[in-house]
Amino acid sequence: MTTTYDARRGTLRGTAGPTSSTSQNLMIFVLSMSLFGLSNILLEVIPDVSLGPVEISVSYFVFIPLTLAALLSPFWVALGAPLGEIVFTDLLMGDFSGLAEVEGFIQMFLAVFIAGSLIRNPRSRVQLVLGALLVVGIDKLLSAAVDLAKVWVGVEEAELVAGLPESILLLEGIGFVVDLLMSGVLFGVVPALWLVPQLHGRLEPLLGLQPREPGRPVPGSAPRATWFVVVAVLAGAGSFFFAFLEEVDMSPGALDAELDASFLWISAGAAAVLLTIAAVLFAVHRRRAAATSTLRDEDAA
Amino acid sequence: MALTRTTHDVLSVEWIKLELIRTAYATRGGLVARMDPRVVLGWYALLALAPWFTHNLTTLGALFVLAAVFVVLARVGPLVLGLFVIGLISEMVYLAVAALFFDGDLDTVLALTEVTLKLGVVSLASLAAFVSLDPEKLSDALLALRMPATAAFAVSYGYRMMPILVEEFSTVLESARLREPAPSRGGVLGWRHLVHWATLVVRAFYPIFLNTAKSVRTTVEALEARGFTAATIDPRARAIRLASLRVTGLDLAVVAATLAAVVGCHLIGAQWPLHRG
C-alpha cells in the first residue's frame, strides 16, 4: 500500500528534525482540543450505567489524546485535551464546576503528558498498550488518592465508622479496575492499536510536520527536566487542594451548626490559599511557555 | 434492530446538532447576552461562591430558585437544560443509593441533598452565564482578565467549530452505518448492537482526524496571516480588541439586584433556618 501524501506537504517548515514552530504547536493544541472535545460531546449524550455505587461507563475516549500524543508533541496535546473537555462540554453544557475543573485539568494534563513522553516509537505495540493504560492509570489513581484522602481526613474528625475505610477502599478499587478495563482497554488500547499505525505518516504531513521516527527525540517533551518535576509536583499538590476544597463539604462532622462560623472562615482562607497557588501555577506556566517558544524561535533561526 | 431505532428516535444526532448550532450561533436575546462579558464573569463568580458560605437549607433553596430565575431570564435552550435536569436527577438517585449502601439514614440523605443543591446552584449559574454569552464576548472577557491569548482563542474557536465538527462526525457515522448492515440479532442485552455501534464510532474517527487536521491547519494559517502570534506579543492589539467593552447601567443594575437577592436569600434563611442534624 502506498502512502499518498497531501498536496500541501511541500517543503516542511522548521529545521530538519521533527521540531515544531510556534504556529505548529498551536495547530497541535487546537487539533487535540477539538477532537477530544468532540469525543466528550458524544459521550455526554450516552447515559451512564451504574450498578449500585459502582459506575460502569466510559469516562473518555482515551485513544484520541493517546494517538495524538504518540504521533505529535505530547506537551501540546496534553495541554489541549483537557481544555477541549472544559470548553466543549463543561462550559457549553452548563456542567462547569469551578474548582473541580482545575483538578480535572491538572490530572488529565499529567496523565497524557507522561504517557505521551513514554511512547518513543509510535509503531511499537507494547509502548502503545503501556501508554493507554498509563493515561487511565495516572488520571484515575490521582483522583482515587484524592478521594481516599478526603475520606481519611473526614473520618478522622468524625466518629470512626467501623468498616467505612475498608468499604471506600473496596469501592475505589472496583471503580479503578472498571475504568481501566472500559476506558483503558476497550476504548484505549484496542482503538489505539488500530488507529496509530493507520495515521502514522499520514496525519503529520497535514500539519507540516515530519513523522516521528524511533530514536529521534520527542518534540516538545519536557524541555527542562527540573522545571518539569517542579511543575508536576506543584500541579499534583494543586490538584489535591482543589479537589479537597470542593469536597470539604461532603466530609461528615466538618459542618455541624455550631462550627458554621469557623468553617466559613476556614473555607474562605482555603479559597484564598488556592487562588494564590493557582496564580503561581499560572505564572510558572506562562513563563515556561514563553521561555520554550523563544527557545524554539532561536533554534529555528 | 429495535434498540438502535428507539435510541435513534429519542436522541437523534441531528436534533442535538441543530440545538448546538442554535446554542453557539443564535442569540436568544436573553438578559445575559446584553451584558458586558467581564461583568457576567464577575456575576457568575458571585452566584457560584454564594452557596458555599452556608449550610442553611432554606438559604440554599432560595439561592437555587434565584439561579433558576436567571436561567429563565437568560433563555437557555432545551437541550442543555434537559441534560442539566437529567444530570441532577441521576445525581440525586446515585447519592441516595450510595447513602443506602453505607447504612445511612435520613440525615445522610439530607447532607447529600445539601451538596447537590450547592452544585445545582453553581451549574444553573454557569448555564445562565456561559450558554447565552456570545463566544466572541466570552473570549474578550477572558482576554481582559489576562488569560493567555491561546485560551481565549480556544473558547471562541470551540464554540464556533463544535457544531461543524459534530455535523461532520454525524455525516461520517451515518455513511458508515449505511455501508454496513447492523447485526441481525442483538444477543444478551443487545451487546452485538453495542459492539457494532462502538466499532462504527471508533472507525469514524479516522477520517475525522485527517479532516480536522486539515481544517486546523487552514485556521492556524489564516490566524497567522492576520498576525495572531504577533498580536499576543504586542499590547496594543489587546487594547484594540478590548476597546469595545463597556460597563453600562444594565450591568450595574443586574449585579446590584443579584447582590440584594443573595442577601435576601440569607435573610430568609435566618428567618426560617433549616439545618440538618
pLDDT in tens, B162-181: 778 888 998 998 899 899 88
Residue of chain B whose Cα is closest to the Cα of A72: B213
Within 8 A of A83 by CB-CB distance, chain B residues are 151, 154
> What pLDDT, on the 0 to 100 scale, is given for residue A35?
93
Range with lowest mean pLDDT among A46-60, A61-75, A232-246, B100-114: A232-246
Q: Which amino acid is at A119?
A: I
- Is a pLDDT exceeding 90 seen at residue A36? yes
Q: How confident is the model at residue A294 (pLDDT cuts 50, 70, 90)?
A: low
pLDDT of res. B23: 65
Percent of chain B with pLDDT over 70: 82
pLDDT on residue A272: 65
Which residues from chain A sit within 8 angstroms of residue B70, using beta carbons?
none
Distance CA A97, CA A90 (A): 8
**Quick check: is A2 in a domain?**
no
Strands A54-56 and A49-51 turn out to be antiparallel
pLDDT of residue B181: 84
**C-beta separation of B106 from B48 below 8 A:** no
Residue A231 in any domain: the answer is yes
Cβ pair B217:A208 closer than 8 A? yes
B186-215 pLDDT, tens per residue? 777 778 888 888 888 899 999 999 999 999
Would B277 be classed as within a structural domain?
no
Residue range(s) defining the domain that contains residue B27: 2-271
Q: Cβ of A34 and B212 within 8 Å? A: yes
Summarised one tens digit per residue, pLDDT across range B49-70 is 787 777 778 888 888 888 888 8
Full 3-state SS string of chain A: CCCCCCCCCCCCCCCCCCCCCHHHHHHHHHHHHHHHHHHHHHHHCCCCEEECCEEECCCCCCHHHHHHHHHCCHHHHHHHHHHHHHHHHHHCCCCCCCHHHHHHHHHHHHHHHHHHHHCCCCCCHHHHHHHHHHHHHHHHHHHHHHHHHHHHHHHHHCCCCCCHHHHHHHHHHHHHHHHHHHHHHHHHHHHHHHHHHHHCCCHHHHCCCCCCCCCCCCCCCCCCHHHHHHHHHHHHHHHHHHHHHHHCCCCCCCCCHHHHHHHHHHHHHHHHHHHHHHHHHHHHHHHHHHHHHHHHHHHHC
**Residue from the list B101, B126, B220 with its beta carbon closest to the beta carbon of A26:** B220
Contacts of A98 in chain B (CB under 8 A): 48, 122
Q: Are residues A97 and B122, on separate chains, in Cβ contact within 8 Å? A: yes
Q: What is the ipTM of this complex?
A: 0.72
* Closest residue on chain A to B153 (Cα): A30
Domain housing A115: 22-300
With respect to residue B276, please indicate whether it lies within any of the assigned structural domains.
no
Contact between chains at B202 and A63 (C-beta distance less than 8 A): yes
More confidently predicted of A253 and A40: A40
Q: Do A53 and B97 count as a contact with CB atoms less than 8 A apart?
A: yes
A107: left (phi over 0), alpha (psi -120 to 50) or beta: alpha
Residues of A in contact with B127 (CB under 8 A): 94
The reply to whether A203 falls in a domain is yes
Distance, CA of A228 to CA of A2 (rounded, Å): 40
**Which residues does chain A have within 8 Å of residue B24's beta carbon, measured at their own beta carbons?**
92
Please count the structural domains in chain B: 1
pTM for the whole structure? 0.73
How many domains does chain A contain in total? 1
In this predicted structure, which of A51-55, A218-222, B122-126 has the lowest mean pLDDT? A218-222
pLDDT tens digits, B88-112:
787 777 767 766 666 666 666 666 6
Going by C-alpha positions, the residue among A284, A112, A129, A274 that lies closest to residue A192 is: A129
The pLDDT tens digits for B235-271 are 787 788 788 888 888 888 888 988 898 888 888 888 8
